[in-house]
A and B are shown apart, each in its own frame.
Chain A
Amino acid sequence: MTSQLEIKNLHVSVEGREILKGLSLTVNQGEVHAIMGPNGSGKSTLAYTLSGHPKYLVTDGEVLLNGENILELSPDERARKGLFLAFQYPVAVPGVSMANFLRLAYRSVHGNPSKPESRREEVLSIPKFRKMMREKMAMLKVDESFATRYLNEGFSGGEKKRAEILQMAVLEPEIAILDETDSGLDIDALRVVSEGVNLLRGPKLGLLVITHYQRILNYIKPQFVHVLVDGVILQSGGPELALELEEKGYESLVKGDSHV
């Protein structure tokens, strides 16, 4: 069965102010969607709402993952159903090693008895998990020291984003949201991180790439591009839409928008 993330008429408020005003979007497993939007358009609100941050209040609409409404689920339940968010600002957790954290996370996501996939059961043992993690680290060209370092503590901007992609690689989500993964990265770091994401692309992963700038889309090429302005998808199209935006800016679209 193919997984599917369906967002229907999503309205979200933060501290009493409505940020998302009826957003609809469908991402299928295997597809890469990009959401582009100017500052304040609701990009991060969308990312946090999908993964269940308690600060974001859904006032209307639905988010279905494989047909099930996930809005009532806790962040960890959503993760266990195959959703992943690569944070724009990954949080440091001092004293917790990446390896220890990843193993716990992996066990939480895949150790569910209701998901008896034998291969995954196998990697639950510590040595097997370590082997799998080392393989993923090698694949993503992540330095081995990542495993023993404390989670995101003292990581550079580039290291944090690579650590996010490593987590995504290990946890093997069905739908992943990349929230401004390109922010704060220089061109070399951006290339390295994007190459990592591309290695994970495939028929089993649906990707929602949220970005302000078009440049990450030179590396992670989307099939669908959506423009988010003032809490709604204003326009959708193919990869050419991103280039058009890069050339003309958001202003050209916003002008025609009655909200502004």
Chain B
Amino acid sequence: MPARRLARSGIRGLYWVSETPSVCTITTNFLRFRGVKFRGRFKQAMTQALSIQTQPLVSAATVEQISNSRNEPAWLRKARAEAWAVYEQTPMPTLNDELWRRTDISTLKLDRLSSAFDAPSATPTQSVDELPEGLKRMLDVGEAEAAGYLAQVDGGAMFNWLNDDLRAQGVIFTDLETAAREHAPLLRDYFMTSAVPPTYGKFEALHGALWTGGVFLYVPQGVKVALPFRAGIWQQTARAGLFPHTLIIADAGSEFTYIEAYGSETQPEPAMSDHAVELFLKEGANLTFVTLQNWGRHTYSLGAQRAMLDRDATLQWVIGTLGSKVTKTHHEIFMLGPGSTGNIHGFYFADANQHLDHHTQQDHFAGHSTTDLLFKGVLKDKARTIYQGLIHVHKNAQRSDAYQANRNLNLSARARADSIPGLEIEANDVRCTHGATVGQVDDEQMFYLRSRGLSEAHAQRLIVEGFFEPLMDRIPLESARVKLREAIQEKLGAF
């Protein structure tokens, strides 16, 4: 390829070549690609076009670079370095690890990921108009009212808005980098200390070392907020490795709703999101937390989410997974105080070659606590889903009440759903129930609907929508429900 032509052609148009970056040679003077040497600005253009980074994302140098570029305080710098050390000491999960038995992560090439957090796309803006279209749609900016918005692109906080009255009442809704500067004492107590510490696992340690952006929401004691807080996490730069983090502290007696969505357009090259969610519900707090994942089909979505509930706290937790190439996420609820209640509703819809693996854990440490979990999944094409759940009632958690159910509707003979419910009970006065089903569309339901004139596709669509409908009722915002229904319909295919 003549150098002249290359210099004129857009970066975007060259992406196809970057699937084989190994054929490039880079020296201080030139870059060699397919036998052609590029120098000077041509080398620069080619480096950019091939998305070649001289420094890999996953490296100690990047950890330091993040700390330096953000001028981080010593404690945070130390925390990153420690997390990196844990990452280096922790072996990569393999199919021999109990929680990774059904998800092969070896296809994820960490050394091919690029850092995107300092890309132009991650630069803050004051204007909603400058957000990527897909992100704007996802956030419903201007369509629905909200208590606050936070938008992130490629790990940078792009846009942030909080209702003035709430700010005056002491509500904090900002990105974590800002929070680390302005609310360090609060952050030091909660950030990756107890809910998702770096020792949680390999990818949590990596997250602790490389996180950027992030969401921090603090609602003070007794403050009740009717409108939802909304966050949108977007990936734009090719091959990005993102580390989104959500930290929410619901102080005693507070009551509010938070809805976050992850998304991107499907890209030709793999990307990764390795996220963490930490929720703290103080005494009597009432939080509705909705997390929806609709990454493009190029994304490996990894992450750990854990909620910590004190006495009489109530969590309504909705987890929705529609996107990604591979998903492997942990969702845990820790019942630390008596009288605490957790309702967890998850749904997933896997199509094409998607591989969605959810792991849940209901940990009852305190007695008189209640958890109720329902995960529902639909599969089509050659999709694969795994649901693995554990109810763990600890020794002193007498009179706990725990329920766990996983229901799957399989629309295809080539798709496969695994469901592995589990119980571990150390107390003797508890009530625990669990169950799992994998079923096909009921023939009699199909015949009934078709006898009313509905085509096979219509009838199937109606049954799937009906399967998810009770979960849709759990989503506290009409505009979000509408979007989810649209996303589900899109997966079912146009008719």
Q: Which residues of A contact B (CB under 8 A)?
A: 51-54, 74-76, 78-80, 84-85, 87, 90-91, 93-96, 100-101, 104-105, 108-109, 150-151, 167, 171
Contact = CB atoms under 8 A, between A and B. Distances in A.
A8 B186 CA distance: 83
B441 to A, nearest CB: 11
B451 A52 contact: yes
Nearest to B454: A108
A95 B454 contact: no
23 contacts: A52-B450, A53-B447, A76-B453, A76-B455, A76-B459, A78-B451, A79-B453, A80-B453, A84-B451, A91-B442, A91-B448, A94-B467, A94-B469, A95-B465, A96-B462, A101-B462, A105-B449, A105-B453, A105-B454, A108-B453, A108-B458, A109-B452, A171-B453
B448 A76 contact: no
A75 B447 contact: yes
Contacts of A108: 452-455, 458
A80 B454 CA distance: 9
Contacts of B469: 94-96, 150
A142 B19 CA distance: 63
Given A76-B455, A76-B456, A108-B455, A93 B450 contact: no
B189 interface: no
Interface residues of B, number: 24
Contact of B466 (A53, A84, A96, A109): A96
Contact of B465 (A54, A76, A85, A96): A96
A74 B449 CA distance: 12
B470 interface: yes
Nearest 8 CB-CB pairings of A with B: A95-B466, A95-B469, A108-B453, A79-B453, A109-B453, A96-B466, A91-B448, A105-B452
B466 A85 contact: no
A96 B452 contact: no
Contacts, number: 80
B165 interface: no
Contacts of A101: 449, 452, 462
B467 A51 contact: no
A95 B468 contact: yes
Contacts of B443: 54
Contacts of B448: 87, 90-91, 93
A225 B148 CA distance: 70
A79 B451 contact: yes
Interface in B326-375: none
Contact of B452 (A74, A150, A171): A171
A151 to B, nearest CB: 8
A150 B445 CA distance: 13
Contacts of B466: 93-96, 150-151
B444 interface: yes
Interface in B428-478: 442-445, 447-456, 458-459, 462-463, 465-470
A54 B447 contact: yes
Contacts of A94: 466-467, 469-470
Contacts of B459: 76
Given A76-B453, A151-B466, 19 more contacts: A74-B450, A74-B456, A76-B456, A79-B451, A85-B451, A90-B448, A93-B448, A93-B449, A93-B463, A93-B466, A95-B467, A95-B469, A95-B470, A96-B462, A105-B449, A108-B452, A150-B466, A150-B469, A171-B453
Given A96-B465, A96-B469, A104-B458, A91 B453 contact: no
Contacts of B447: 53-54, 75, 91
A95 B473 CA distance: 10
Among A52, A84, A96, A150: residue with most chain B CB under 10 A:
A96
A160 B458 CA distance: 22
B463 A76 contact: no
Contacts of A54: 443, 447
